[in-house]
């Protein structure tokens, strides 16, 4: 990887600790809207589990262009509430708005995120390449103190395409000047981040803290990335 000049980072689950930040937000929302009184037969953990289930399923549909942004944002809470026997679309909408207000302002990062960006910032052009919603990703970056590390913030909304669609990488190349032989993608999702980038001719590193076995280049910790780049 000696020819690498541009490094593209995924944001959620890679640099920004989506799991912890989202769970903390959902627990706050459960308390704010007093769901323990509205649905006394169900625990907060049950509600959160159902939200996570529906959110992941709907994000899968969104990535396949089978669900719109606006529908995803409201339906995930409608379905989670329905699973605890609450039929209230207005409540679901209010909870969705609160989630979007609270969650992006959480600042927990994956271990080594700041350190690895500090090590790389003077040697490479760093960019974000994310399927997340554009305005939401900007808030996360700013609140977490990450914005200044990146030359370009490229999201699927800006590119009008989602990883691993070729058009996402076309857009990134046009807006950064990064050629395939000079580009590296770092992300947590093997199919979306790693295989998608490799198919386009980029290099890729799988951020793989669970140590899943596969044939692709991976790291369990972000701070392993500089070592790989120097090999």
For residue 204, what are the β-bridge partners?
185
Q: How far is CA 191 from CA 24, 128, 215, in A?
A: 27, 18, 12
CB-hemisphere CA count at 13 Å for 124? 27
Residues 59 and 95 in one domain: yes
Structurally, how many domains does the chain consist of?
A: 2
Q: Residue 124's closest CA among 144, 141, 149, 148?
A: 149
Q: Domain range spanning residue 225?
A: 6-16+109-229
pLDDT 10s digits, 210-230: 999 999 999 999 999 999 997
Residues 88 and 132 in one domain: no
Predicted confidence at residue 231, as pLDDT, reads 66
Sheet holding 152-155, edge to edge: 152-155, 125-130, 6-9, 183-187, 203-207, 218-219
Predicted confidence at residue 140, as pLDDT, reads 98
Q: Is the pTM of this model over 0.75?
A: yes
The H-or-E segment that residue 73 falls in is helix 69-82
The domain boundary residue, chosen from 75, 105, 135? 105
Q: How far is CA 116 from CA 53, 176, 225, in A?
A: 32, 21, 8
Residues 217 and 199 in one domain: yes
Q: Residue 224's closest CA among 109, 107, 108, 111?
A: 111
Q: Residue 72's closest CA among 157, 193, 3, 129?
A: 157
| Local confidence pLDDT in tens for the 231 residues of the chain | 789 999 999 999 999 999 999 999 999 999 999 999 999 999 999 999 999 999 999 999 998 889 998 899 989 999 999 999 999 999 999 999 999 999 999 999 999 999 999 999 999 999 999 999 999 999 999 999 999 999 999 999 999 999 999 999 999 999 999 999 999 999 999 999 999 999 999 999 999 999 999 999 999 999 999 999 976
Residues 74 and 150 in one domain: no
Residues 123 and 217 in one domain: yes
Question: What is residue 153's three-state secondary structure?
Answer: strand
Residues 149 and 203 in one domain: yes
State the residue for tokens 């399923």.
Answer: 57
Distance CA 139, CA 134 (A): 9
Predicted confidence at residue 63, as pLDDT, reads 87
Preceding amide of 164 cis, omega within 30: yes
For residue 1, tell me if it sits in a domain. Answer: no
Angle separating helix axes 89-102 and 69-82, nearest 10 degrees: 120
Residues 121, 123, 125, 130: what is their CA dihedral angle, to the nearest 10 degrees?
-60
Number of helices (H) and strands (E) in the chain: give both, helices first: 11, 6
């Amino acid at each position: 990887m000696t020819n690498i000049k541009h490094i593209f980072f995924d944001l959620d689950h890679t640099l920004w600790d989506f799991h912890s930040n989202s769970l903390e937000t959902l627990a706050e929302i459960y308390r704010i809207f007093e769901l323990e009184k509205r649905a006394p037969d169900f625990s907060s953990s049950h509600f959160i589990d159902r939200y996570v289930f529906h959110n992941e399923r709907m994000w899968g549909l969104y990535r396949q262009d089978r669900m719109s942004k606006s529908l995803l944002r409201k339906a995930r809470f409608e379905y989670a509430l329905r699973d605890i026997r609450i039929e209230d679309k207005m409540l679901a909408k209010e909870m969705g708005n609160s989630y979007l207000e609270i969650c992006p302002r959480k600042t927990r990062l994956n271990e080594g995120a700041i350190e690895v960006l500090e090590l790389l910032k003077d040697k490479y052009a760093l960019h974000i390449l994310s399927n997340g919603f554009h305005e939401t990703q900007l808030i996360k970056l700013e609140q977490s103190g990450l914005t200044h590390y990146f030359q370009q913030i490229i999201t699927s909304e800006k590119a009008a395409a989602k990883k691993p669609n070729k058009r996402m990488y076309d857009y990134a190349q046009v807006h950064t000047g990064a050629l395939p032989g000079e580009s590296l993608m770092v992300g947590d999702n093997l199919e979306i981040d790693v295989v998608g980038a490799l198919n386009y001719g980029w290099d890729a590193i799988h951020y793989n803290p669970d140590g899943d076995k596969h044939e692709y280049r991976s790291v369990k910790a972000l701070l392993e990335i500089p070592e790989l780049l120097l090999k």
